[in-house]
Structure 1
Amino acid sequence: MNQTVQAKPRLTTSAMIASIASEGQRTDAAPFGHALVEEGLRNPRIVGMTADLAKYTDLHIFAREYPERFLQMGMAEQLLMAAAGGMAKEGFMPFATTYAVFATRRAYDFIHQVIAEENLNVRICAALPGLTTGYGPSHQATEDLAMMRAIPGMTVLDPCDALETRQCVAALARHEGPAYMRLARGRVPLILDEYDYQFELGKAKLLRDGKDVLVISSGLMTMRALEVADQLAKDKIEVAVLHVATIKPLDVDTIVAECRRDGRLVVIAENHSVVGGLGEAIGLALLQARVLPQLRHVALPDRFLDAGALPTLHDRYGISLDVMARNIRTWLG
Structure 2
Amino acid sequence: MSEVKKIATRDSYGKELIELAKVNDKVVVLDADLAAATRTGWFKKEFPDRHIDCGIAECNMMGVAAGLATTGMIPFVSTFAMFATGRAFEQVRNSIGYPHLNVKIGGTHAGITVGEDGASHQCNEDLALMRTIPGMVVMCPADDIEARACVRAAAEYVGPVYIRFGRAACPVVNDRPDYKFELGKGTVLREGTDVSIIATGIGVGAALEAAEKLAADGISAEVVNICTIKPIDRELVVATAKKTGKVVTVEEHSVIGGLGSAVCDVLSEECPTVVKKIGMQDRFGESGSAAALVKKYGLDGDGVYASVKEFLK
- Whether TM exceeds 0.5 here: the answer is yes
Q: Shift of residue 266 of structure 1?
A: 1.2
Unaligned runs of 5+ in 1: 1-22
Query: In the alignment, residue 4 of structure 2 is paired with which amino acid?
Result: Q
Query: In the alignment, residue 37 of structure 1 is paired with which amino acid?
Result: I
Is residue 80 of structure 1 aligned with residue 58 of structure 2? no
In 1, Cα distance between equivalents of 2:158 and 2:185:
17
Q: Shift of residue 183 of structure 1?
A: 1.2
**What percent identity do the matched residue pairs reach?**
39
Q: Shift of residue 305 of structure 1?
A: 2.0
Contact 2:66 2:101 in 1 (8 A): yes
Q: Which residue of 2 aligns with 1:26?
A: 5
Contact 1:58 1:186 in 2 (8 A): no
In 2, Cα distance between equivalents of 1:309 and 1:187:
12
Contact 2:6 2:170 in 1 (8 A): yes
Q: Which deviates further from its counterpart, 161-170 or 187-196?
A: 187-196
Spell out, residue by residue over 1:244-291, the C-alpha distance to the aligned partner (whole angstroms, 9 max, x if none): 1001111111111211124x43111111111111111111211111x2
What pairs up with 1:170-181 in 2 under 5 angstroms? 170-181=152-163
Contact 1:215 1:239 in 2 (8 A): yes
Contact 1:47 1:70 in 2 (8 A): yes
Is residue 324 of structure 1 aligned with residue 312 of structure 2? no
Is residue 168 of structure 1 aligned with residue 150 of structure 2? yes
In 2, Cα distance between equivalents of 1:277 and 1:167:
21
SS at match of 2:123: coil
Is residue 102 of structure 1 aligned with residue 62 of structure 2? no
Higher helix fraction: Structure 1 or Structure 2? 2
Q: Which residue of 1 aligns with 2:275?
A: 295
Distance 1:156 1:68, change over 3 A: same
In 2, Cα distance between equivalents of 1:249 and 1:265:
22
What pairs up with 1:297-316 in 2 under 5 angstroms? 297-316=277-296
In 2, Cα distance between equivalents of 1:144 and 1:198:
26
Query: In the alignment, residue 251 of structure 1 is paired with which amino acid?
Result: D
Q: Shift of residue 118 of structure 1?
A: 1.4
Query: In the alignment, residue 185 of structure 2 is paired with which amino acid?
Result: K
Query: In the alignment, residue 181 of structure 1 is paired with which amino acid?
Result: I
SS at match of 1:121: coil
SS at match of 2:175: helix
Spell out, residue by residue over 1:128-187, the C-alpha distance to the aligned partner (whole angstroms, 9 max, x if none): 112221222210111111100000110000000000011111111110000000013575
- TM-score under structure 1 length normalisation: 0.89
Q: Which residue of 2 aligns with 1:16?
A: none
Q: Shift of residue 195 of structure 1?
A: 7.0
In 2, Cα distance between equivalents of 1:292 and 1:281:
13
Q: Which residue of 2 aligns with 1:202?
A: 184
2:101 maps to which of 88, 95, 120: 120
Query: In the alignment, residue 230 of structure 2 is paired with which amino acid?
Result: K
Q: Which deviates further from its counterpart, 193-202 or 279-288?
A: 193-202
Q: Which residue of 2 aligns with 1:55?
A: 36
SS at match of 1:324: helix
SS at match of 2:223: strand
Spell out, residue by residue over 1:26-47, the C-alpha distance to the aligned partner (whole angstroms, 9 max, x if none): 0347221221111111110100
Contact 1:32 1:185 in 2 (8 A): no
In 1, Cα distance between equivalents of 2:75 and 2:50:
10
Distance 1:186 1:53, change over 3 A: farther
In 1, Cα distance between equivalents of 2:301 and 2:7:
21
Distance 1:75 1:181, change over 3 A: same
Q: Which residue of 2 aligns with 1:285?
A: 266
1:250 maps to which of 228, 232, 235: 232
What pairs up with 1:134-213 in 2 under 5 angstroms? 134=115, 135-185=117-167, 187-194=169-176, 196-213=178-195
Q: Shift of residue 300 of structure 1?
A: 0.5
- TM-score under structure 2 length normalisation: 0.94
Q: Shift of residue 24 of structure 1?
A: 4.3
Contact 2:168 2:290 in 1 (8 A): no
1:66 maps to which of 42, 47, 62: 47
2:217 maps to which of 235, 238, 241: 235
Contact 2:27 2:76 in 1 (8 A): yes
Query: In the alignment, residue 173 of structure 1 is paired with which amino acid?
Result: A
Unaligned runs of 5+ in 2: none
Give the root-mean-square deviation of aligned CA atoms.
1.7
1:260 maps to which of 218, 242, 246: 242
Relative contact order higher in (CA < 8 Å, ≥ 6 apart): 1
Q: Shift of residue 105 of structure 1?
A: 0.9
